[in-house]
Amino acid sequence: MKLLHKDIEKDNAGQVTLVPEEAEDMWHTYNLLQVGDSLRASTIRKVQTESTTGSVGSSRVRTTLTLCVETIDFDSQACQLRVKGTNIEENQYVKMGAYHTIELELNRKFTLAKKNWDSVQACDAAQKADVAAVVMQEGLANLVLVTPAMTLLRAKVEVTIPRKRRGSCTQHEKALERFYEAVMQAILRHINFDVVKCVLVGSPGFVKDQFITYLYKEAVRQDNKLLLENRPKFMLVHSSSGHKYSLKEILCDPTVTSRLSDTKAAGEVKALEDFYKMLQHEPDRAFYGVAHVEKAADVLAIDTLLISDKLFRYARRDLTQLSGVAAILRFPIADLSEPEDESSSDDD
């Protein structure tokens, strides 16, 4: 997220002008927006026109509107953010008080005004990514940063690798070297080793091993101190392919979760795993559903609270089947296991 302008008063009222530059920025914007905020952005409006002959037609025009925010709809799969509200500034196409929906777009600025800004920071998403991953296969690699919110694709490397020919592997080996070089440059360009604690390198077969051998050899040849000093951060793991979806299986690998035990991303995965283990082995210390969790909170029994974006603005979807909220308790409470009353069914 790029910050273009900031005007915040001493009472924390004011506005900022931002430009979302990547998909994750839409998620951060979603977390910034609140009902009652003022949002100014470029949008498309369908307007009716009347000709001199009296015939009526319609056309779509681009205009800039300022809305008082009423509803916020975020599609986490498509990373699309739609904001509906009433127009609060004079506009030649839209009457004051008329409803309109703005769909915020990547690389198009918007201005957000609040009566009270808190300390939420949205412009340093990559600075929160303490895990990086390279999933690869021959000729394909995806470099991803893992943040507390979601995975962020930083680079995709594709190089055509000719097949080995009988009696000659020259073209095959040259193409592999170009591929490995491109992946190495992507790592140098997109990974901040001051923040990243672990770099996962996954592939089927021996592709990962061959790449790491190339990486270290080149680091020594070029006297690249950055790679040499951060060599312990690289971890080789198995993945079924070089496609981005293989990252999920890597992060579920027990050896990986053990290595990442002190990172933010792994902390979220571990919390959910701990909940399911507790639910299986000590059910009186694991509860889900709003009513049960509220009762546990009333007696100060909650040790770990898990909330999905169904009830709080969060990108992880694993809790939706648990009514959106779950808790691990400090001590068992047997009577909480009774069925929830009907008043809580609407929360599911």
74 and 98 in a single domain? The answer is: yes
147 and 64 in a single domain? The answer is: no
168 and 199 in a single domain? The answer is: yes
Q: How many domains does the chain have?
A: 3
281 and 235 in a single domain? The answer is: no
pLDDT tens readout for residues 10-55: 788 899 999 988 777 887 888 889 999 999 999 999 888 777 777 7
Q: Specify the CATH number for the domain of residue 31.
A: 2.30.30.870
Residue 26 lies in a domain: yes
Query: With contact defined as beta carbons under 8 Å apart, do 210 and 171 qualify?
Result: no
Residue for token pair 């100014």 = 40
Tell me the two tokens of residue 338. 């009774």
Query: With contact defined as beta carbons under 8 Å apart, do 221 and 256 qualify?
Result: no
221 and 198 in a single domain? The answer is: yes
257 and 141 in a single domain? The answer is: yes
For residue 183, is pLDDT > 80?
A: yes
138 and 223 in a single domain? The answer is: yes
Amino acid at 172: H
Query: With contact defined as beta carbons under 8 Å apart, do 67 and 85 qualify?
Result: yes
295 and 174 in a single domain? The answer is: no
Q: Specify the CATH number for the domain of residue 256.
A: 3.30.420.60
Q: Name the CA dihedral angle for 156, 162, 163, 167, rounded to a multiple of 10 degrees.
A: -140
pLDDT tens readout for residues 297-325: 888 888 888 776 544 443 345 555 555 68
258 and 136 in a single domain? The answer is: yes
Give the domain extent around 276. Answer: 268-329
Amino acid at 238: H
Task: State pTM to two decimals.
Answer: 0.52
pLDDT tens readout for residues 204-241: 999 999 999 999 999 999 999 999 999 999 999 999 99
Residue 172 lies in a domain: yes
Residue 10 lies in a domain: yes
Query: With contact defined as beta carbons under 8 Å apart, do 258 and 266 qualify?
Result: no
C-alpha 293/C-alpha 298 separation (Å) is: 9
252 and 186 in a single domain? The answer is: yes
pLDDT tens readout for residues 265-302: 556 667 777 888 888 888 888 888 888 888 888 888 88
pLDDT at 101: 95
Which residues have a Cβ under 8 Å from the Cβ of 225 and sit 6 or more positions away? none
Query: With contact defined as beta carbons under 8 Å apart, do 129 and 138 qualify?
Result: no
pLDDT tens readout for residues 61-92: 999 999 999 999 988 667 789 999 999 999 99
Query: With contact defined as beta carbons under 8 Å apart, do 45 and 65 qualify?
Result: yes
